[in-house]
Amino acid sequence: MVWKYTNPVRIEFGVDSFAGLPALIGKRRYALVTYGEPFFDELSARLEKTAGAPVLTVRNVAPNPDYRLLAEQTSSFGALKSQPDVIVALGGGSVIDSAKVFAAAGGDFGRVATFLETQKGGERLSAIPIIAVPTTAGTGSEVTCWGTVWDQATGKKYSLARPDLYPTHTVVDPRLMLGKPRLLTISTGLDALSHALESLWNVNNNPVSANHAVFAARNILDVLPKLVGDLGNIELRSRMAMAALFAGLAFSNTKTAIAHSLSYPITLRHGVQHGIACSFSLPMVLRSVQGAGGLCEDSLKQIFGADLARAADGLEDVLGMLGISCNPAAYRIGREEWELLIEDSLQGERGRNFLGSREKLIAASQTRRLPMAQTA
């Protein structure tokens, strides 16, 4: 077996590690990308007291960063006399993905748009260093070199992927995740679970990413059901942050696969949150990869046990207890649309990463069962 693994991000992990952020910035001129909410205003003020004022602050980051808003935000970078030395991304996946766009654009979003649409013009892109400070446990963007960009006007989703867009540092402080609401905790946690599992049923899997994925998935399945009933528990938040980080380290080298390929049109057409859209199909995919053998099946059995058919039912029950239905109809997706989505998703970039077979996936999509818990 021939494989490779690399991840250049320096990780600072621990409760109250946010206090070390000013030292990472040093005397560099920094831009701050964050949300315009009181919690983030308070964190921004704390940072400014010790690191000085940012040369620019972007506070209006929206979920699913879109061409139109990104172009407007990038113009504020273009209005600076010179680009910042470093960008601090303080927030969830949308903040970190947006920061990657700004880092690559160098004040001109058109360069990024051209690259996304044609895969040409990479030499014109910038690579401003990024320090990522995630405030949710799920995205993994703090340890990957790509960011998701949406063009709502044309109904398209792009991935801005360049090796020089890995953050130089990430500061993972579980205290920043305290107080996150139940649905956000579930959605981001299931996004992390999807990252872990998607890195396993993946043509790019390798022993290092698999070890990360097994650790992540086992911990998420143990911690998330407990955490949703005890949102202020710092120990559970820490375990969840660690698991999400390891899921990020896993798929940072494999990218995602079929569940994510399915999720993008579901988010665009039906408005389903990303973490839900990419996770409700996981039991279906798990059923379809039974007998895949090799590193994929060995790793899945480390997570779920020897009987993967029973494991798929169990995973569906866990999702049901979290209030997540695995029935596409719950998301206003009819049977005909679901079948077309599966076919189309297998042809997409992420779908081509899937190591399972079309026939088994389609057969698994016909399975319908009632989970043990009432679903939402």
CA 241 to chain centre: 13
CA distance 26 to 213: 34
CA 5 to chain centre: 19
Domains of the chain: 10-175 (3.40.50.1970), 181-365 (1.20.1090.10)
Q: What tens-digit pLDDT sequence spans the chain (376 residues)?
A: 889 999 999 999 999 999 999 999 999 999 999 999 999 999 999 999 999 999 999 999 999 999 999 999 999 999 999 999 999 999 999 999 999 999 999 999 999 999 999 999 999 999 999 999 999 999 999 999 999 999 999 999 999 999 999 999 999 999 999 989 999 999 999 999 999 999 999 999 999 999 999 999 999 999 999 999 999 999 999 999 999 999 999 999 999 999 999 999 999 999 999 999 999 999 999 999 999 999 999 999 999 999 999 999 999 999 999 999 999 999 999 999 999 999 999 999 999 999 999 999 999 998 776 566 544 4
Q: What is the CA radius of gyration of the chain?
A: 20
Largest interatomic CA distance in the chain: 61
Q: What is the DSSP letter of 202?
A: B
Cα four-point dihedral sign 116, 120, 124, 128: positive
Stated as kind and residue range, the H or E segment containing 193 is helix 182-198
Q: What is the DSSP letter of 374?
A: P
Burial (CB count within 10 angstroms: exposed 0-12, middle 13-18, buried 19+), residue 101: buried
